[in-house]
């Protein structure tokens, strides 16, 4: 029972870190601005940079549930028109559902961690046992993250294609740069940088949390000496 509780806490905590990393980076407006400038997205779409940011804000608000639609008209190639077509809107509806489900999982995992920690106090589980189990789970995730990085670097297209096949039940994500503004806003190079940034954010929080755990472990050892 104690062993299962420790493992559940460890897995839930890491899932909290993973989903939080995705959430923080995916809605970091400054990151989008920097990528847009680096990749010259506004020039490619033939849209004013501030309008490009406005379209991005619409995507953010819709995905996070702060607006009900993606209806927005902006000047593109000298003509005022709807930025997103039906296919793009339908795909973003799927993205919004995926995002909200991920946040739900994150929140459930956070509750599991909180009550799990309370459980370790009730069962008086040794701190060393908790740390040892967490380190083993962490090591598996580190290898998994390393594997993902290797795949992304070697063949990002394969990685990104299979990611969509796992999380989406249709092929609406297969957008065409000739007709779909959305894929021009966030091309493959953008997503590559996004994935690397998410992994970096996760690793930072992961290492920091392990550092804090180790600090308290050492502090506890000193008290026993």
pLDDT given for residue 112 in this prediction: 93
pLDDT given for residue 137 in this prediction: 82
Q: Which helix (H) or strand (E) holds 134?
A: helix 127-154
Number of domains in the chain: 1
pLDDT given for residue 221 in this prediction: 59
Assigned domain for 197 exists: yes
The 8-class DSSP code of residue 73 comes to: E
Assigned domain for 80 exists: no
Give residue-wise pLDDT tens across range 77-92: 999 999 999 999 999 9
Is residue 224 exposed (0-12), middle (13-18) or buried (19+ Cβ within 10 Å)? exposed
Give residue-wise pLDDT tens across range 116-131: 888 877 777 776 777 7
Calculate mean pLDDT across residues 156-175.
92
The CB-side HSE value for 71 (13 A sphere, CA atoms) comes to 2
75: three-class secondary structure by DSSP: strand
Assigned domain for 177 exists: yes
Assigned domain for 88 exists: no
Assigned domain for 77 exists: no
pLDDT given for residue 46 in this prediction: 96
Query: What is the band of 4 on the pLDDT scale with cuts at 50, 70, 90?
Result: confident
Calculate mean pLDDT across residues 188-206.
93
Assigned domain for 18 exists: yes
Calculate mean pLDDT across residues 128-142.
78
pLDDT given for residue 175 in this prediction: 94
Distance CA 39, CA 207 (A): 31
Query: What is the band of 200 on the pLDDT scale with cuts at 50, 70, 90?
Result: very high
Assigned domain for 92 exists: no
Give residue-wise pLDDT tens across range 6-39: 888 889 999 999 999 999 999 999 999 999 999 9
pLDDT given for residue 5 in this prediction: 79
Assigned domain for 17 exists: yes
Say if residue 215's pLDDT is above 80. no
149 vs 63 pLDDT, higher one? 63
pLDDT given for residue 55 in this prediction: 97
Q: Which two tokens stand for residue 71?
A: 């209806």
Say if residue 218's pLDDT is above 80. no
**201: domain range?**
2-42+102-224
Distance CA 118, CA 29 (A): 37
pLDDT given for residue 111 in this prediction: 96
């Amino acid at each position: 029972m104690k062993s299962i509780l420790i493992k559940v806490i460890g897995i839930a905590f890491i899932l909290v870190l993973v989903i939080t990393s995705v959430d923080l980076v995916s809605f970091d407006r400054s990151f989008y601005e920097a990528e847009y400038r680096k990749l010259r997205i506004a020039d490619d779409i033939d849209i004013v940079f501030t309008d490009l940011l406005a379209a991005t804000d619409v995507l953010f608000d819709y995905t996070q549930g702060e607006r009900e639609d993606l209806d927005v008209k902006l000047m593109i190639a000298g003509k005022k028109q709807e930025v997103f077509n039906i296919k793009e809107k339908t795909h973003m509806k799927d993205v919004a559902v995926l995002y909200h489900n991920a946040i739900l999982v994150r929140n459930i995992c956070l509750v599991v961690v909180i009550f799990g920690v309370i459980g370790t106090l009730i069962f008086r589980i040794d701190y060393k046992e908790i740390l040892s189990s967490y380190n083993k789970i962490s090591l598996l995730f580190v290898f998994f993250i390393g594997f993902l990085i290797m795949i992304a670097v070697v063949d990002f297209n394969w990685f990104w294609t299979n990611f969509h096949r796992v999380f989406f039940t249709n092929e609406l994500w297969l957008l065409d740069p000739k007709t779909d503004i959305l894929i021009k806003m966030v091309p493959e190079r953008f997503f590559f940088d996004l994935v690397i940034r998410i992994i970096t954010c996760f690793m930072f929080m992961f290492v920091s949390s392990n550092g804090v755990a180790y600090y308290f472990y050492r502090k506890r050892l000193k008290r026993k000496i």
